[in-house]
Structure 1
Amino acid sequence: MNRAVVSFRFVQMSLAISLVGLWACAVNGQEWLAFRGDGGSGAALRSKPPVDFDVPEGKHLAWRMDTTGRGIGGPLVVGGLVIVTGCDGEDERDIHVEAFDEQTGERKWVRSLRCTGRPYTHPTSANASPTPASDGQRIFALFSSCDLLCVDLQGRLQWYRGLAVDHPQTGNDISMSSSPSVIDGVVAVQLENQGDSFLTGIDAETGQTLWEIPRKRQSNWATPQAITLGGGEAAFSIQDGDELLIVAAKTGDVLHEFPIKCDRTASASFSAPLIVVPGEETVALRTDSSGVEVVWRSNKLRPQRCSPVIAGNKVYMGRGSVLIAGSLVDGEIVWQKRLPGIETVWATPVATGSGIFIFDASGNVAVVRDDDTAGEVIGQSVVGETILASPAVVGDSLYLRTERGVIKIAAQSP
């Protein structure tokens, strides 16, 4: 038998063994610190939010608050606060970071600044399009205008970087919507467009540039994914239309390069030890003490716009009104389910103990239960507002960032 085949099968067998622990370890937490949660998988399997909420009718609506300006980046939940970004004013030049009490919805503070870069975006998007990130003590908010700011949990400004000052040709008229990512005291920002493209690592405490890497002049909206390598080293996975890089968080050194034609909208997901990278074909890579290696490839298991979600022994991909479940062991499609009432989808789904929640742009929601070999729609809910942002999940509650509001969904006693 071919040695490469033996090696590949050995990797798959090893992966299946290591995933036994992952299947038993349901993801849950009391905070949601980044796009798709703290770990980057988009799952909170111990959380059980209601599957039949109706915001206009008030069913399972804990609270709803208008936000300062509009935004399409996802919410964070940290330190008892729900954090969102917003923008308004002339050409959306006024940018805001806003905090609401997690339990009551009371507005606790808002920090407002004037952007220094180009605020122009497509009408569907917004200057406040990236999802912020947090290290549990600070909030790092990036805007399409390439303005990056850091505030503490009381809303006090810690530092501010107008990245377009040093890179005046950075920007496009759709939006710079790649979100920041943070690990081990480093904030990674990936700003790629037809002009001045670059990837940079910023010191989370001081705001100083630690390293910078020039990038291709190519529009790219994918978000860096914070990962931990097998030896414990903090790193970021960085993707574009031609390759995947694994970059050391502290130094910016390129540790691994893979010639993978990655998606430029949907971003890689991480659930140790796996990185799942969408593109012309979806590729799963395993991180261990010896490095990073490809485990499987699939040209059938591919998302459309929204990023993959990893939960248990499956990876879920949204393709418009269809949800696809694939095996995390070998990438084979396990089932596909058409979602009634779901049309254009931008928000990455979230997987919970109640089911997988899919939100379309007009505010319709489908909830799918994974019955191992098939998917079943077990709930249809209504937000009633435009929603392009992936939600946050904490406890048994959902936190939604609509275009002009923030909403908490929690089960109500009958």
Structure 2
Amino acid sequence: MNASDLVALRRCCVLWWFSVWIVVLNFAAMSLMADDGWTGFRGDGSGNTVAELPTVWSSEQGIAWRADIPGYGQSSPVVFENRVFLTSSDGPFQEECQVHAFDLQTGEKLWTRRVQATTQVENYFRNSRAAPTCVVDADAVYSFFASGDLTAMNHDGQTLWSTPIIKTYGVVDNERGVASSLCQTATSVFVLIDHHGPSYLVAIDKESGQVAWKAERGERVPSWSTPVIASCGDRQLVITSSADTVDAFDAQSGESLWQLGGLQGNHIPSASVVGDRVFVGSTTMYGGASDETATAASNCCIKLTMVDGKPGYEVLWGAERANSYYSTPLAFAGYVYYVNKVGVLYCINDQTGEQVFAKRIGNPCWASAIGVTDSRGASLVYFVMKNGFTLVLRPGDRFDPVARNPLWEVDEMLAARDAAEKQRRANVVPDDLAAPKTGPEKVFAGMPENQLHQMFSYGDPTAYAAAVAGNSLLIRTGQHLYCIRDEAIRDETRDHPPIIDRTHE
């Protein structure tokens, strides 16, 4: 073989290896895209994901786009491939329910579709306003509203079916409105309605929109938590942590499998399922759970068991001081994280229930925390706080912050506040049409709105929810959707990211 032949052979080898690497990279990219998604409330119900997220950003750097959302809403975004779906509502009685689709990469709004509400819900700032989060799969996005309307649309916004749950089964006696999000299996969507009347869990067939089964739960106290899917042996379970019990139902038949009673305060936080463990969140609340010791113990860990082919459970531990408030507990990297109503973060050992540390982080979290592992195996927790700051934390036996990142500056905050106030004024219900307040709300009926805002720390903008898809962190406020992404970071700062302390900002 002469020299020219050797050169030609080397060129062929280089081209062959180049082509192999192109195939490998394309396959990897396709695999990554296939894994990109956040298909329901807290993703798969665990709040854990694999992603490449920036650790440091500001209102001027790292925000890829911000999109306006018509109306007002409190639901989390969900993502399938390159489409982001979320909901909002408008009108004095939230008679106009809206589903929106956005492009994940650019933030372009692809479409908005309206669902006419079949029951009326007062558009009041303390009520649920488009709070239930959708679920999405390869075929459709399934939305649910406080009006009780469950609707399936394909990814282009064509309505496939709509089922009026509350109109069918009766008015909900819940002073704050329905806020439970959906959960799903491959064949069904599940809706939980717990209130002062006949309560129930209902399964809706995804293909037809018809009721697959309905499990009666008796009269309950109002709750707003979301059911979650768990696996036990070869069975799928629907786990509900709500109204002072944790219940397991067979996802296919609706059979009640077991119930853990004696809990207190699990009305707002949902359960987290990680493997064979269920982590329950509870909180003290006005007009409801008030025993702090009992409520803390209700922040507990349950192990799913299988005995003689029958699903069961075992309570492994209850916490001593933890309290969840609005956000759901996150079990991640050996720890469980809870944030209470005044912004105290509790870190609990996930095996023993012992407190590792407690730290005031400056603001409560209405969005649930997300545990993120990157491609190199490094783990971080993202706490999106109500005031728009995101605390990025390294998991461990001590409070180890990486950064505290703002989402908006003062001018943007004031503009959002004015827009939300304008929207509220436009949707005021006339006094002669407003329903009398019930339950704890009767106490506040005559108080000025600004006093209630101050008392309960309401105010806009509020970061209600967060989701992760690929290398994007999505944060939703009442009227805006933010995408945080840094294409340039892959990431020299990730090994030793700077600690940016903006606690006093």
Q: CA deviation at 1:304?
A: 2.1
Native 8 Å contact 2:93 2:120 kept in 1: no
Which amino acid letter does the alignment assign opposite residue 87 of structure 1? S
Q: CA deviation at 1:346?
A: 1.5
Q: Distance in 2 between matches of 1:120 and 1:171?
A: 13
Native 8 Å contact 1:367 1:379 kept in 2: yes
**After superposition, what is the alpha-carbon deviation per residue over 1:92-123, rounded to whole angstroms, capped at 9, x for unaligned?**
21111111111111111221121111222540
Q: Which structure 2 residues correspond to residues 141-160 of structure 1 after superposition, within 5 A? A: 141-160=143-162
Q: Which structure 2 residues correspond to residues 207-222 of structure 1 after superposition, within 5 A? A: 207-215=209-217, 216-222=219-225
Match of 2:485 in 1: 410
- Please give the secondary structure, in 2, of the residue aligned with 1:355: strand
Q: CA deviation at 1:266?
A: 0.6
Q: Distance in 1 between matches of 2:488 and 2:80?
A: 26
One of 253, 267, 270 as aligned partner of 1:267: 270
Match of 1:3 in 2: none
Distance 1:191 1:121, change over 3 A: farther
**After superposition, what is the alpha-carbon deviation per residue over 1:60-86, rounded to whole angstroms, capped at 9, x for unaligned?**
011111112211100001131011101
- Please give the secondary structure, in 2, of the residue aligned with 1:197: strand
Q: Distance in 2 between matches of 1:237 and 1:378?
A: 34
Once the two structures are overlaid, the 10-residue window that deviates more, 193-202 or 403-412, is 193-202
Q: Aligned-residue CA RMSD in angstroms?
A: 2.0
Q: Distance in 1 between matches of 2:132 and 2:462?
A: 14
Q: Distance in 2 between matches of 1:42 and 1:63?
A: 23
Match of 2:314 in 1: 293
Q: CA deviation at 1:155?
A: 1.4
Q: CA deviation at 1:277?
A: 1.3
Distance 1:344 1:242, change over 3 A: closer
**After superposition, what is the alpha-carbon deviation per residue over 1:236-280, rounded to whole angstroms, capped at 9, x for unaligned?**
111233321100111110011212415100111001111111232
Native 8 Å contact 1:399 1:406 kept in 2: yes
Structure with more strand by fraction: 1
Q: CA deviation at 1:204?
A: 1.4
Match of 1:11 in 2: none
Match of 2:48 in 1: 43
Q: CA deviation at 1:232?
A: 2.0
Native 8 Å contact 1:140 1:149 kept in 2: yes
Which amino acid letter does the alignment assign opposite residue 462 of structure 2? I
Q: Note the residue ranges of structure 1 that are not aligned, 5 or more in a row.
A: 1-27
Structure with more helix by fraction: 2
Match of 1:306 in 2: 327
Match of 1:134 in 2: 136
One of 250, 253, 267 as aligned partner of 2:252: 250
**2:425 is aligned with 1:400:** no
Q: Distance in 2 between matches of 1:194 and 1:289?
A: 33
One of 337, 342, 355 as aligned partner of 1:333: 355
Match of 1:78 in 2: 80
- Please give the secondary structure, in 2, of the residue aligned with 1:198: strand
**2:87 is aligned with 1:67:** no
Q: Which structure 2 residues correspond to residues 3-402 of structure 1 after superposition, within 5 A? A: 29-38=35-44, 40-44=45-49, 46-55=50-59, 57=60, 59-215=61-217, 216-229=219-232, 231-262=233-264, 263-279=266-282, 280=295, 281=297, 282-290=299-307, 291=311, 292-319=313-340, 320-339=342-361, 342-353=362-373, 355-370=380-395, 372-384=396-408, 386-402=461-477
TM-score normalised by L of structure 2 = 0.71
- Please give the secondary structure, in 1, of the residue aligned with 2:38: coil
- Please give the secondary structure, in 1, of the residue aligned with 2:129: coil
Distance 1:272 1:37, change over 3 A: same
Which amino acid letter does the alignment assign opposite residue 276 of structure 1? F
Distance 1:72 1:60, change over 3 A: same
Q: Distance in 2 between matches of 1:96 and 1:119?
A: 14
TM-score normalised by L of structure 1 = 0.86
Native 8 Å contact 1:121 1:174 kept in 2: no
Native 8 Å contact 1:238 1:244 kept in 2: yes
Q: Distance in 2 between matches of 1:188 and 1:118?
A: 22
Q: Note the residue ranges of structure 2 that are not aligned, 5 or more in a row.
A: 1-33, 283-294, 374-378, 414-460, 490-505
Distance 1:289 1:331, change over 3 A: same
Q: Distance in 2 between matches of 1:289 and 1:47?
A: 33
Q: CA deviation at 1:126?
A: 4.1
Native 8 Å contact 1:35 1:390 kept in 2: no
Match of 2:10 in 1: none
Higher relative contact order, chain-length normalized (CA < 8 Å, sep 6+): 1
Match of 1:17 in 2: none
Native 8 Å contact 2:339 2:364 kept in 1: no
Q: Distance in 1 between matches of 2:477 and 2:187?
A: 30
Q: Distance in 1 between matches of 2:401 and 2:356?
A: 16
Distance 1:126 1:301, change over 3 A: closer
Once the two structures are overlaid, the 10-residue window that deviates more, 137-146 or 345-354, is 345-354
